[in-house]
Amino acid sequence: MSANNALHIAVLAGDGIGPEVMAPALEMLRKIEAKSDLKFRFTEAPAGANHYRETGKSMPDSTIRLCEEADAILLGACGLPSVRYPDNTEIMPQVELRFHFDLYAGVRPARLIPGVPSPIVRADQRGIDLVVIRESTEGLFASMGKGVVTHEEARETLVITRKTSERLFEFSFRLAERRKARGRVNGGLTCVDKANVFKAFAFFREMFDEAAQRHPEVKTDRLYVDACSAMLVKRPWDFDVMVMENMFGDILSDMTAGLIGGMGMAPSADIGDRYAVFQPCHGTAPDIMGQGKANPTGMILSAAMMLDWLADKHGLESAAEAGETIERAVDKAYADGIKPIEFGGRNGTADITKAVLAAL
């Protein structure tokens, strides 16, 4: 926080629909500023495929320095299928930031907002309110850029470390405790793995069990990822907080975003001990960019998550309240009939932004 108590936010809008969803989120924060004692200082910085195309780098050093100095980082979406490194992989500064800032906990809430259609039968009556915590610095992604491919075979190595897993589980238990304190009944924490087949996941589960002993007040469960996928589709309301390896979380968090209406609805945060990046779950959606169709809800809810994290970090009660105010405004906009183009409705970015701003 700077001398005048303004929270300094690094803003990396990125590529594709990134800037289109970032603008509404900043509008929400400016309105919060006008309504509360919170002050923000936004500094925009380049990152992504367009920057790579122009300069040969996914982001300049000045962007990293800005992120180091800021209180929090807001990111739109980065990468374009048409812009690639020489090895054919996409430009992903958002993944680089996870490694650079050791953002091991990828937090992906999936809450079904009343009025939003879910593909799951009876979800409108039972509700969905779960959080996937995706370890974000190791697992199979530890092999990124290091895989070995010959004409005959390809190898990528999965890494699970005690240091990261223990911090990940502590974070997960703490989140389950906070959700319980905020009134979540019948909640708990589920460890999702493949401990029946791989030693690495047996190790993962063993460390989870050790952490569970330190948090006896949290109800725990252990599931294999394949069985868990089926249960998520059949009874998503049975889940509260779920913690898993990077690749499993990559896949299951897209699925849970699907359960609550679509990619545009899902917020996320990548959190470490000191830094955190807040961005929607979705990518740059080049198929709809520049058409005013992007749903900004996931980005707006990511900004709300940022406020909650800043509140926890700096003891700022008003930031926690502001985060909840944004969530309630989103709920009201949908209760009043907003229906994004993303799931068959008529409302694009401008309508959704206007409705949430009006409810704020």
Instruction: State the nearest-atom distance from the C-beta of 294 to ligand ATP, in Å.
Output: 4
Region near ligand ATP per CB under 6 A, out of 141-149, 154-162, 288-296, 351-359:
288-296
Q: Name which position in 68, 206, 210, 287 contacts ligand ATP (CB under 6 A).
A: 287
State yes or no: residue 73 binds ligand ATP (CB under 6 A).
no
| Stretch 163-222 residues interacting with ligand ATP (CB under 6 A) | none
Is residue 306 within 8 A of residue 100, CB to CB? The reply is no
Instruction: State the nearest-atom distance from the C-beta of 93 to ligand ATP, in Å.
Output: 12
Bridge partners of 44, per DSSP, are 11
Question: Which is nearer to ligand ATP, 7 or 281 (by Cβ)?
Answer: 281
Question: Which is nearer to ligand ATP, 287 or 336 (by Cβ)?
Answer: 287
| Stretch 20-59 residues interacting with ligand ATP (CB under 6 A) | 21
DSSP string, 92-114: -HHHHHHHHTT--EEEEEEE--T
Long-range pairs for 81-85: beta carbons < 8 A, 24 or more residues apart: 81/286, 82/49, 82/286, 83/49, 83/50, 83/52, 83/53
Is residue 304 within 8 A of residue 108, CB to CB? The reply is no
Q: Name which position in 97, 123, 294, 301 contacts ligand ATP (CB under 6 A).
A: 294
User: Cα–Cα distance between 195 and 92 in angstroms, integer?
Assistant: 30
CB atoms within 10 A of CB 199: 9
Task: For residue 331, give the 3-state DSSP assignment.
Answer: helix
At 40, list the tokens: 């923000």
State yes or no: residue 251 binds ligand ATP (CB under 6 A).
no
Instruction: State the nearest-atom distance from the C-beta of 9 to ligand ATP, in Å.
Output: 20
At 88, list the tokens: 């054919």
State yes or no: residue 288 binds ligand ATP (CB under 6 A).
yes
User: Cα–Cα distance between 222 and 273 in angstroms, integer?
Assistant: 25
Count residues contacting ligand ATP (CB under 6 A)? Answer: 15
Residues of this chain that interact with ligand ATP (CB under 6 A) are 17, 21, 79, 263-264, 282-285, 287-288, 294-295, 298, 342
